Amino acid sequence: MSKKNDAETLPRQVPIAWEALEDAFENNAPEVHSYLHLDTGEVIRIVDGVADPQMHQRVMRDSSYLRVDPVSSREQYRWMERFIATVDEPEFRDKLVRAIDGKGAFRRFKDVLMSYPVDRERWFAFRSDRLRSCMEAWLTAHGIEAVERRKWEVPTAEDVAPQVEREQERRKGRKSRAVIADAQRGRLRELADDLPARELDAAVAFLEFLRERKHIPRPRAKTPEPPEASESSEDGADDGAPEGADAPSESAAEES
C-alpha cells in the first residue's frame, strides 16, 4: 500500500520546452489560451476567433494537456518597478519612471529601453529570471519535474560520407550510360553517312521497325495443357483391368 502511495506522489517527468512555456507565461491576453502537453513538453497556443472552438473544447477535455496560468499584468508591472530600482543613472531612471505611469506602460517602457541597449539586455535577463522562477513554482505545484529534452544531433561529415560516395557512384553510372548512348548515336550517324543511297531505305525501315517494336506487347507464354487420355485407356479404366493385362475370353468365362 505504501508503494502505491509513493508512486502517486512522485512528480511526473516532462521534457519541458522552456522557450515556448516562457512565451505562454508572459502572454496574458484574455483571448490567448496556452496548454502544456504532459507527454511531449510542447506548448500549444489557441487564440479565440482564430482556432476552431470545437478543437479548443477537445484540448480542454484531454487529460494530456494542462492549461498554463500566465503571469498577471500586475505582477509583470512589479517586475518593471523592481528593475527601475536597479538603474544607477538618475536621468535614465526618471525616464523609466515616467514611462510606466498610466495606460500603455509596457509599450513605453520598452520604447525607452530601445535607446539603451546594455540596460535593455539587462531587462531581458531580469525578466527571464523572474519568468523562470514562476514557471518552476507552477510546475512544482502541479507535480511536474522538468527533465532534459532530447537533443537532435546533426550528423558529422564522416557519418554521411559513405552515403555521399554511393550517390556519386550511382550518378556516375547514369552519366556513363548516357555517354555511351550518345556515342552510339554518333556512330549511327557516321554509318548512315557512309551507306550507299540504295541502302538507305532498308536502313530507315529497319530503324523504324526497332523503334516500333517496343510498343508491341509481347505474347504471354501459354501454359501447357495436360494430354487427353486415349480411348483405349478410357475403355481400360471402365473395364477395371490393369494396364498390360489381357481381358478374359468368352470361352474362359463360359468354362468358369
The overall longest dimension of the chain from CA atoms, in Å, is 148
CB 12 within 8 A of CB 145: yes
If one compares 252 and 121, the residue with the highest pLDDT of the two is 121
pLDDT band at 233 (very low <50, low <70, confident <90, very high): very low
Amino acid at 160: V
CA nearest neighbour of 71 among 17, 16, 22:
22
Percent of the chain whose predicted confidence (pLDDT) is above 90: 45
Tens-digit pLDDT profile for residues 144-185: 998 888 777 777 888 888 888 888 777 776 666 777 777 788
State which H helix or E strand residue 155 sits in. none
| Model pLDDT, residue 8 | 57
Q: Please compute the mean of the pLDDT values over residues 93-101 and round it to a whole number.
A: 94
Query: For residues 97 and 94, what is the distance between their CA atoms, to the nearest angstrom?
Result: 5
Query: For residues 121 and 113, what is the distance between their CA atoms, to the nearest angstrom?
Result: 9
Q: Please compute the mean of the pLDDT values over residues 184-209 and round it to a whole number.
A: 80
- 128: burial class by Cβ within 10 Å (0-12, 13-18, 19+)? middle
Query: For residues 127 and 114, what is the distance between their CA atoms, to the nearest angstrom?
Result: 16
Mean pLDDT rounded to a whole number for the chain: 80
Does the pLDDT of residue 38 top 80, yes or no?
yes
State which H helix or E strand residue 113 sits in. helix 105-113
| Model pLDDT, residue 175 | 60
Q: Please compute the mean of the pLDDT values over residues 14-27 and round it to a whole number.
A: 91
| Model pLDDT, residue 24 | 92
Grid cell 487427353 — which residue? 228
Least confident of 58-72, 138-152, 212-226, 242-256: 242-256
pLDDT band at 1 (very low <50, low <70, confident <90, very high): very low
Residues 6+ apart with CB under 8 A from 14: 36, 38, 39, 41, 139, 144, 145, 146, 147
Q: Please compute the mean of the pLDDT values over residues 127-131 and round it to a whole number.
A: 92
Cell of 223: 501454359
Query: For residues 144 and 15, what is the distance between their CA atoms, to the nearest angstrom?
Result: 10
If one compares 205 and 67, the residue with the highest pLDDT of the two is 67
